[in-house]
Structure 1
Amino acid sequence: MTYGVTQDGFVLKGLDVILAESKARTRAALGQDVDLSPTSPLGKLLEVVAQEDAELWKRMEDLYYAQFVATANGASLDLLGDDAGLARHVGRRAGDVTLTLAGGVPGRTYVVPEATVLITAGPTVRAFATTAPTELTAAAPARTVRVLAVEPGDAEVAAGAVVDVHPDHRAQYLADWPPATLAVTNSAPFTELHPEDDDAYRARLVALPRALWTVDAVRQAALRVPDVIDARVSDPLGGIDVSQAYFGGFDFGGRTFTDERRVGEPYFAEVAVAHRNVRPWNTLEGDAAVAGVRELVEKEVERVRPIGVHINVVEADHIDVSVRAEIVLAPGFDATAVTARIRQRLAADIGRLRLGDDVLYARVMCALADQQGVEDVRRLHLRRCPPAFGRFGFGGVPYQLGIVEAAVGESLAMGPTEMAVFATDPALSRIEVVNR
């Protein structure tokens, strides 16, 4: 067998192979009757040397795969990004904020939606977005929620700096609260810094266009915005990418059916953008202005769009996906811990999907069954939930009021402008645990 760099990639030589080859060479040099048992001094020496060689082979494997965007990680991925001229996004500050309800009506639940924009006091106003929905009541008026900075940057945030909800956000999403009020504060400074992770950075490097004035160039311009997960350019007639087969592809009686778009002739295309629920879609005006995703994408696309091509930026439909299943658990395993691991795995797997990717039944089944302690998965149904508040655009999918549940074995099909997102609300998923 060939080891090292091959046509199929790097083939690692394992410890067992290295040790077997070392013993074979030793017997060839010292004779077949030499004592190489695990308890012999020479056998121990060969094992130690083989372990060092095995670690060297692992290091060579890491160096080989560090040359490619698809397999590089960490500093190696940063170096590849520097070569391509695309740097990793600057990290964002994160911390905990306490939300306090005052004057709440007994029996009513006040919901602070996910991605509620909170601001600091002047003179330099900074914006932060909540990472989960928060429920407040008169009986439990105070809750702590995690927030993430809307704008990247490593400037520290002092304790007590976050003081209020953005006025535009309050008027839009908390208009029915009065006479109840909401107070905001952070008791501790924000010291945690979240850089762009390898998966998100790798996706931008893979999508980096290798040519100008194409659909890929427009898509990459949208991906340069930090909060954009994916983008899809709708260009069915080939008005942006003049290399498509549409041009000159039909010839009836000597007349060309369609030609290249003439320079200066208007052409319209759409860019559907899927984004993280941190930065608002539209710009929030006022003294504490927060740039929206749509405006930032329009600004980036404006730099690369061809002459005469007009791009309409639309929000992709973020479809919440959940599951209903029955889990058979082996004795000795905690149901709560296993369920939490399943939710975490589903969020990670579905989070890797891009615009238009279907939620495959087999992938979800693997995520549930591939958990320690799970012996069987029964009656698994995938669910298409109602759109999350503020996460639904004007795509081709009609608005739904209730949960649509697929049959056992059926996957969830996504449209070209739909992005599947695992529902963070535990009430939308129904995972029943049965102890064996």
Structure 2
Amino acid sequence: MTSEERFGVTDDGFVVKGIDRIIADQQSRARAMFGDDVDLTSGSALRKVMDAAAVDTHELWRALESQYYAGFVTTAQGPSLDLLGKDLGLPRRELRAHGTIGLTLSGSEPDRGYVLPEGTVVETVPDGPAPAEPPPALAFRTTRAVTLSAATATASVEAEAVVRGPDGNIPTKSKLRLQPAWVRHNLNLGAAEVTPFVQTDFEGGDLGEPDGVYRARLLGVPRTVWTQEALLAQVLDVNGVRDAAIFDPLGGVEATRRAYGTFRYGGRAFSRPRQTGSPYFFDIVVASEPSWPWTSEKDAVPGVYDQVLKTVKQWRPVSVFPNVLAANQVDIGMRATLVVEAGHNEQAAKGAILDAVRGSVNRLRLGSGVLYSDIVLSARTAAGVVDVQNLRLRRFAPAFGQTYYRGATYGGAQELSAGENLVLAPDEIAQFSVDSSMVDIQVVAR
């Protein structure tokens, strides 16, 4: 039997027997049983019964194929993927509920703009008389920056729940307010007040993450208890963490696995394995999502630092201590001239380009530089854009830097030459804002 005639489980996977081959095999068996003169034309009763049975047999083959591939993380789907994740101890995460909220400004000063940055925190408040034991407030974060003024006193913005799950699916009648602790630390409204309200029902919190995202998480699950990869997987799963990296001066969280102690000079060991009980320190550099608080305040969104520290404490061996540090966020800007076709809305083209660049830059990980070619490609994807000329990338010095690992730049802004890539240090992460003062884009029509 040749390799083309093999069906079922093979070296190349599961091979389904086609319906044409099933029908041919049935006709062969019918001739062997009833003779070569048996009527197998399309109008015969035997042929109709055999064709119906062939369809059922083919469906059985397809079910066997599905069952075979359901046993592998790379090919399983839906409930089968959930079962594999349960075996690995990593269930499918629920999504964050999302919806639209409105913002209304009152008591504003003339000729002043009030900027509510991306990540502005709003929370639910009980409607009616305050109960003796009010339910816990549900927090939501805006996904865009909004500017309000006396001339533009209302605006709409997308928001998503801080905590995953169906609790974030709030209706339009829900009452909201700006989170007092967050406002106290991040805004200066003066006598003005901003009142949020729900414009559309929040939804999506009862859904699970897509198969592709869940599969990627399962494929990255470490099979060891205490390694850099295992610890990093736990840190990346914390709410508010955009990216993280582990820096260990000895090259590994568990120093005893390295080559220390194997070199001998004059009959003495170069170093000895770490004794149980002796302290060992390493650094975890964490990049948080925009405007997510670093430390927890009373009645505020849980801080990234506290959540990461709590997670690591549950995993670390005895006398191993983490030093959780905030990554250096580098604001990225650009200067360029865009050539658009005549008839296209120049401002719409500029907005589309800024959104595309924002998505491209904000997906970068710690230490990943901003490539000139990626920015050009993102700009060229906007409708009506013909050319991108004199593009120069800009960077602003990282603010509130807490770490320094070979190459972080401090002291001022910098504009690169045309065609030059922006290189970041291992503890730096790029951040692009569409309303940044470092963005200077001129649009001309062809």
- In 2, the alpha carbon distance for the partners of 1:419 and 1:98 equals 31
Pair 1:131 & 2:143 matched: yes
The residue that corresponds to 2:104 in the other structure is: 100
Q: Which has the larger radius of gyration?
A: 2
Pair 1:157 & 2:170 matched: yes
Q: Deviations over 1:377-415 (max 9, x none)?
A: 32121121465xxx854233455564x211112111111
CA contact (8 A) 1:92 1:151 kept: yes
Instruction: Rate the CA distance shift 1:195–1:328 in 2: closer, same or farther, 3 A.
Output: farther
- In 2, the alpha carbon distance for the partners of 1:67 and 1:328 equals 49
CA contact (8 A) 2:277 2:318 kept: yes
Instruction: Rate the CA distance shift 1:409–1:289 in 2: closer, same or farther, 3 A.
Output: closer
The residue that corresponds to 1:412 in the other structure is: 422
Pair 1:423 & 2:433 matched: yes
CA contact (8 A) 1:395 1:417 kept: yes
Displacement of 1:235 in angstroms is: 0.8
- In 2, the alpha carbon distance for the partners of 1:423 and 1:310 equals 35
- Which piece of structure 1 moves more, 218-227 or 76-85? 76-85
CA contact (8 A) 2:119 2:141 kept: yes
TM-score, length basis structure 2: 0.73
Match of 1:254 among 267, 283, 288: 267
The residue that corresponds to 1:117 in the other structure is: 121
CA contact (8 A) 2:171 2:202 kept: yes
Give the unaligned 5+ runs of structure 2: 5-11, 14-64, 127-133
CA contact (8 A) 1:239 1:261 kept: no
The residue that corresponds to 1:171 in the other structure is: 184
Ranges of 4+ aligned residues in structure 1 off by more than 6 Å? 63-66, 71-77
Q: Deviations over 1:248-284 (max 9, x none)?
A: 3532212222232211100111111123236422212
- In 1, the alpha carbon distance for the partners of 2:438 and 2:212 equals 27
Q: Deviations over 1:134-193 (max 9, x none)?
A: 21212222222222111111123132424222221122123x322222222224432354
- In 2, the alpha carbon distance for the partners of 1:230 and 1:199 equals 19
- In 2, the alpha carbon distance for the partners of 1:413 and 1:238 equals 23
SS at match of 1:345: helix
Give the unaligned 5+ runs of structure 1: 4-8, 11-59
The residue that corresponds to 1:312 in the other structure is: 323
Amino acid at match of 1:109: G
- In 2, the alpha carbon distance for the partners of 1:366 and 1:292 equals 36
Amino acid at match of 1:300: T
Amino acid at match of 2:359: A
- In 1, the alpha carbon distance for the partners of 2:76 and 2:364 equals 20
CA contact (8 A) 1:108 1:138 kept: yes
Amino acid at match of 1:94: H
Instruction: Rate the CA distance shift 1:179–1:337 in 2: closer, same or farther, 3 A.
Output: closer
The residue that corresponds to 2:394 in the other structure is: 383
- In 2, the alpha carbon distance for the partners of 1:271 and 1:407 equals 33
Please give the root-mean-square deviation of Cα atoms over the aligned residues, in Å: 3.9
Pair 1:85 & 2:89 matched: yes
Residues 27-426 of structure 1 mapped to structure 2, 5 A cutoff? 69=74, 81-122=85-126, 123-124=134-135, 125-155=137-167, 156-174=169-187, 176-193=188-205, 196=209, 201=214, 204-238=217-251, 240-242=253-255, 244-277=257-290, 279-285=292-298, 288-330=299-341, 333-369=344-380, 373-385=384-396, 392-396=400-404, 397=408, 402=413, 404-425=414-435
Displacement of 1:222 in angstroms is: 0.5
SS at match of 1:348: helix
CA contact (8 A) 2:280 2:321 kept: yes
